[in-house]
Amino acid sequence: MPGRVLTLRELNRATLARQSLLERSSTDDVVGMLRRVAGLQAQEPRPPFVGLWTRMASFTSDDLLDALRAGAAVRAPLMRGTLHTVAAEDWALCFGPPDRTRNILGERSRGMDPEPVLAAAETLLREHGPMTMNALRPLLAEQFPGQDDRVMGYAARLLLPLVMVPTDDRWGYGRDPVFGLTDLAPPRERDDAELVRRFLAAFGPATVEDLQTWSGRPALRPVVDAMADELVAFDGGYFDLPDAPRPPEDAPGREVVLLPEFDNVLLAHKDRRRVIADEHRPRVATKNLRIKATFLVDGMVAGTWSIKATKTKATVTLEPFGKIPRAAVREEAAAVARFLEPTAKAVSVA
């Protein structure tokens, strides 16, 4: 039976608490934090660093770089076929069996049979070692003349068990990333129940629609229904882990939080009103599917931010959606500028 009604404010406090955004965590365990937040979106190399900086009190860039280069964390195409940085031990859970992203290919495949393409791509990667997609696609085109090489590369990137190979670049990866076959073992069977638990631990309370939005996996309602004995239900179709934190709606938190581009807090739910008002969403999502870096005031998106740097100066530009506590926002913006550009002689906030 459904329980009481959860207010948007209660959903906000619960999600921020689980994402270490009500207050920064004192942990120095980067891999543990990646597990706690169910990974960080990483369409570009830099955002996960900001995502950890804003969640951890003592985070340094080297903490994540060391984990990536040691293989304790990986950057790979995972949920929804989107690049994420996750703990290596979570790769298999988030990757799932190879059929989990075939629907993403959709019409792009244009009748292409992916199986021989995937077999050829896997053989090439085993023979030649890790390579960029720009290097892999021409080799596939030689074996499959007449096929769209970009679609073949896309299929390989989505459906093969690949991870990006870290480099000595500042944020761990170059402009043309190198992909390699991982020695992490893909799961023999999909563990959707564990996926539900991990999603709720990071983003609950939530609905089935939220879960499917985050995971990219359809038809998960039967999985949730089968877990009824271990979940608590709320009115409106919300469910949660019984012992997960659900602070009261007046729970205190940080006045200002800066989030990086593509942060999952803005993307993990179908109904995103717990963190951003509907009228502000068009100002955050661009036409080319970018999600701008944002700042929260009292837990809600209150504007966007960007940074530009020269050899001597780092400048953060704020674009608030309304009245904001400007001094507090400027202080946090200056702090992220010093993190991102530690050699800059001056920092300014516009």
**Could you read off the pLDDT of 258-287 as tens digits, one per residue?**
999 999 999 999 999 999 999 999 999 988
Q: Structure pTM?
A: 0.94
Is pLDDT at 107 greater than 70 in this prediction? no
Strand partners, 66: none
How do 346-349 and 313-320 pair as beta strands? Answer: parallel
Contact 140, 121 (CB under 8 A): yes
The structural architecture, per CATH, of the domain 98-181 is Orthogonal Bundle (1.10)
Is pLDDT at 102 greater than 90 in this prediction? no
For residue 165, which amino acid is it?
V
- Give CA–CA dist 76/85, Å, rounded: 7
Mean pLDDT of all residues in 129-147? 95
pLDDT tens per residue, range 49-100: 999 999 999 999 999 999 999 999 999 999 888 999 999 999 999 886 544 4
DSSP 99: G
Q: How crowded is the C-beta side of 216, counted as CA atoms within 13 Å? A: 18
Q: Where are the domains of the chain?
A: 98-181, 256-349
